[in-house]
């Protein structure tokens, strides 16, 4: 213990280097940004011993609370402790309010887009969205055509990834509309921080995040087809081996509803969904499903799926059960469709996008494809339908061989690829050994839509690339996270 303390110095923000990046806490002149002043002061006042202790307390809390995530291909190892950094990321309340407005606008347009695609496809007829793109989309579900989910909402829960570039401008990097995960870590990060630095919360006006589970439940309950006081809402998980299993449990627990697996559910002759309980079958009204479309129902999709429930799509299409997010919602979350979101907003809402898209080259367009291949060493190249950072090529950090392999894949299926300039992602002070050092970061807020109102989490999940210089923030690829504070600077 003593050795550790000696190594660990007090924090001196003057010595912190932003290295030409936009830093979330410290500006280019080396001054603390206004929303972070109290935080920076607090940390600077901590003794070396206190810092070491705080990090140990946080690690212990995470271990004891069993906050874990799962990594594929680890043999017997099912779960790993969640990598957490104790310095929160701060954002001013004013800036956040404008981000919120932008996110709501975006999700509204996305829902209109999905509903349009499964009905009249006006946006294609009007020549705004290319027909060819839809035909090749792997997430378009023929089984969903003509179906009217409650309130015409398909993407009830959206997790959009936000990043800043070198100038500090906030961009939307991608929208996750299938089964976005991470919200439980946002909530747990806050409760860890409360355990570690209770006194901080007295000093700084930090907007709370704890409301999310009840907002989520209210939204889910509102989707029930049976008007009644207590609709039966369940969370459908693929099971304990899924990488987000912790979150499925967490949300079910926080909402006080059942966590079910496919084998717990059955669709009876009346095309209603029931769960098997010790007192017999019990009707289910709303399923917050955390299983991908293709595994939902072996009758409608992959026949070999063991995770799903035979007949589920039948029950859903008849309106006997609500599925959240709706099957087929993923059609709007691939990375090629992403490029058209600003056009969608203009088309459906008659407005300019309030949150910027990262400039995106679509390999579908021969000219843009050519540009991507010629500049592959400068671009980030992404497959349209992968998540979790898999299949990504980061041009400047890749080898010649990797680039050639990627070009071959692009040529084989141009529609499946997009590319974006490498952004100088903003950094945030993160403990590296004994002192804070800048690490690249993003932010995933969650947006809930019920058709009657739309709610955005206060802040979201801040992910950081724990490895120096790395741009990959996914927990499955060595990323970590920290608490996110929306700070009300005016509150006294």
Partner 1 sequence: MLSRVGETLYWVSRYIERAENVARLINVNNLLMMDLPKGVCTGWEPLIDIIGVRKAYSENHTDFTEQKALRYLLVGSDNSSSILNSITSARESARTIRDVIPRDVWEEINSLYYYVKDNQKEGITKRGRFDYLKKIIDSAHQIFGALDATINHDQGYVFIRFGSIIERADMTSRILDIRSATLITNEEEVKPFDNIQWISLLRSLSAYQMYRQEMGVRVQRADVIEFVMHSKVFPRSILFCMNELKALVLPLPNSTEIIKSIDDAIVELENKDVRVLKNGLLHDFIDEIQIDLAGIHNGLAETYFLKQAE
Judged by beta carbon, residue 19 or residue 63, the one nearer partner 1 is: 63
Instruction: Tell me 206's DSSP state.
Output: B
Judged by beta carbon, residue 264 or residue 424, the one nearer partner 1 is: 264
Judged by beta carbon, residue 155 or residue 235, the one nearer partner 1 is: 235
Token digits of residue 321: 């059960």
Bridge pairing between strands 393-394 and 435-444: unpaired
Please report how close the Cβ of residue 390 comes to partner 1 at its closest, in angstroms: 25
Alpha carbon distance 297, 311 (integer Å)? 6
Token digits of residue 134: 């839809």
Judged by beta carbon, residue 2 or residue 278, the one nearer partner 1 is: 278
Judged by beta carbon, residue 48 or residue 275, the one nearer partner 1 is: 275
Q: Kindly state the greatest CA–CA separation across the chain.
A: 71
Backbone φ and ψ for 457, nearest 5 degrees, come out as: -60, 150
Judged by beta carbon, residue 307 or residue 372, the one nearer partner 1 is: 307
Please report how close the Cβ of residue 247 comes to partner 1 at its closest, in angstroms: 11
Judged by beta carbon, residue 20 or residue 256, the one nearer partner 1 is: 256
Q: For residues 416, 421, 426 and 427, what is the CA-based torsion angle, rounded to 10 degrees?
A: 80
Please report how close the Cβ of residue 261 comes to partner 1 at its closest, in angstroms: 7
382 DSSP β-pair partners: 418
Alpha carbon distance 196, 411 (integer Å)? 52
Alpha carbon distance 407, 111 (integer Å)? 33
Please report how close the Cβ of residue 84 comes to partner 1 at its closest, in angstroms: 17
Q: Is 269 exposed, middle or buried (0-12, 13-18, 19+ CB in 10 A)?
A: exposed
Please report how close the Cβ of residue 192 comes to partner 1 at its closest, in angstroms: 13
Judged by beta carbon, residue 78 or residue 101, the one nearer partner 1 is: 78
Alpha carbon distance 422, 443 (integer Å)? 17
**Distances, alpha carbon 118 to alpha carbons 122, 145, 149, 413, 451, in Å:** 10, 4, 11, 25, 17
Annotate 21-87 with DSSP letters as a single string: SPBSSB-TTSPBPGGGHHHHHHHHHS-HHHHHHHHHHHHHHHHHHT-EE--TT-TT---EEPPEEEE
Please report how close the Cβ of residue 264 comes to partner 1 at its closest, in angstroms: 5
Please report how close the Cβ of residue 282 comes to partner 1 at its closest, in angstroms: 9
Alpha carbon distance 148, 319 (integer Å)? 8
In which residue are the tokens 């929160």 written?
A: 88
Judged by beta carbon, residue 186 or residue 486, the one nearer partner 1 is: 186
Residues that bind partner 1 (CB under 8 A): 63-66, 78-79, 235, 239-240, 245-246, 248-250, 252-253, 258-261, 263-264, 275-280
Please report how close the Cβ of residue 233 comes to partner 1 at its closest, in angstroms: 12
Please report how close the Cβ of residue 331 comes to partner 1 at its closest, in angstroms: 30
Q: Select from 473, 424, 393 the least CA-distant residue to 171.
A: 424
Judged by beta carbon, residue 252 or residue 372, the one nearer partner 1 is: 252
Please report how close the Cβ of residue 253 comes to partner 1 at its closest, in angstroms: 4
User: In this structure, are residues 331 and 174 in contact, taking their beta carbons and an 8 Å threshold?
Assistant: no
Alpha carbon distance 128, 126 (integer Å)? 6
Distance of CA 168 to the CA centre of its chain: 21
């Amino acid at each position: 213990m003593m050795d550790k303390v000696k190594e660990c110095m007090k924090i001196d923000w003057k010595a912190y280097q932003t290295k030409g990046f936009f830093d979330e806490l410290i500006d280019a002149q080396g001054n603390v940004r206004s929303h972070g002043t109290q935080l920076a002061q607090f940390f600077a006042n901590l003794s070396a011993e206190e810092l070491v202790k705080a990090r140990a307390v946080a690690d212990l809390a995470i271990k004891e609370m069993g906050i874990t995530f799962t990594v594929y291909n680890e043999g017997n190892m099912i779960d790993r402790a969640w990598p957490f950094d104790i310095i929160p990321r701060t954002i001013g309340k004013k800036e956040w309010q404008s981000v919120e407005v932008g996110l709501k606008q975006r999700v509204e347009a996305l829902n209109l887009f999905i509903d349009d695609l499964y009905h009249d496809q006006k946006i294609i007829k009007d020549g705004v969205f290319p027909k060819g793109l839809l035909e090749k989309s792997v997430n378009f579900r023929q089984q969903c055509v003509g179906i009217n989910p409650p309130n015409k909402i398909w993407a009830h829960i959206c997790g959009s990834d936000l990043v800043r570039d070198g100038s500090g401008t906030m961009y939307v990097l991608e929208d996750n509309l299938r089964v976005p995960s991470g919200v439980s870590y946002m909530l747990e990060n806050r409760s860890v921080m409360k355990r570690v630095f209770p006194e901080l919360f007295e000093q700084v006006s930090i907007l709370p995040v704890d409301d999310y589970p009840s907002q989520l439940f209210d939204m889910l309950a509102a989707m029930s087809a049976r008007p009644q006081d207590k609709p039966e809402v369940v969370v459908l998980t693929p099971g304990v081996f899924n990488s987000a299993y912790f979150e499925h449990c967490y949300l079910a627990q926080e909402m006080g509803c059942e966590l079910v697996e496919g084998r717990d559910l059955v669709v009876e002759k009346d095309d209603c969904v029931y769960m098997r309980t010790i007192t017999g079958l019990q009707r289910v009204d709303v399923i917050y499903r955390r299983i991908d479309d293709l595994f939902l129902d072996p009758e409608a999709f992959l026949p070999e799926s063991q995770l799903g429930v035979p007949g589920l799509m039948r029950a859903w299409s008849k309106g006997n059960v609500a599925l959240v997010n709706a099957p087929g919602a993923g059609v709007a979350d691939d990375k090629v469709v992403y490029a058209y979101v600003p056009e969608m907003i203009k088309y459906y809402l008659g407005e300019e996008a309030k949150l910027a898209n990262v400039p995106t080259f679509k390999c579908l367009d021969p000219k843009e494809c050519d540009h991507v291949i010629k500049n592959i060493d400068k671009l980030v190249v992404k497959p349209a339908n992968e998540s979790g950072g898999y299949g990504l090529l980061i041009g400047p950090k890749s080898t010649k061989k990797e680039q050639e392999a990627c070009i071959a894949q692009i040529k084989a299926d141009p529609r499946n690829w997009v590319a974006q300039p490498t952004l100088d992602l903003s950094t945030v002070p993160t403990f590296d050994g004994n002192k804070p050092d800048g690490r690249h970061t993003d932010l995933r807020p969650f947006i809930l839509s019920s058709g009657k109102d739309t709610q955005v989490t206060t802040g979201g999940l801040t992910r950081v690339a724990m490895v120096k210089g790395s741009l990959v923030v996914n927990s499955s690829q060595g990323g970590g996270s920290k608490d996110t504070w929306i700070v009300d600077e005016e509150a006294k």
